[in-house]
């Protein structure tokens, strides 16, 4: 494989990783909040723990995004 093609494949894998990491963090945060609301507290705290879990998931997604962009920037 040529060097140019390897660089393209590398960039695609990095940016694909960014998207998957962000979505996974948001879904895990939402799922944890939902589970806490519905399973631990039998819906008594709904929707507050779900929203808190979603916020934590979004924050974790942005943190992962920030760390990955810093890593990519340092590789150049």
The predicted structure's pLDDT at residue 17: 86
The one-character DSSP state at 9 is H
- C-beta separation of 25 from 57 below 8 A: yes
Average pLDDT of the segment spanning 34-53:
93
H-helix segments, 1-76: 3-35, 48-75
Query: In whole numbers, what is the pLDDT of the chain averaged over residues?
Result: 90
- C-beta separation of 22 from 65 below 8 A: yes
Question: Which structure tokens are listed for 17?
Answer: 């990783």
């Amino acid at each position: 494989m040529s060097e140019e093609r390897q660089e393209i494949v590398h960039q695609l894998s990095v940016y694909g990783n960014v998207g998957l990491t962000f979505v996974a963090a948001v879904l895990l945060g939402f799922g944890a909040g939902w589970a806490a609301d519905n399973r631990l507290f039998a819906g008594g705290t709904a929707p507050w723990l779900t929203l808190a879990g979603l916020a934590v998931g979004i924050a974790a997604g942005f943190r992962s995004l920030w760390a990955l962009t810093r890593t990519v920037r340092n590789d150049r």
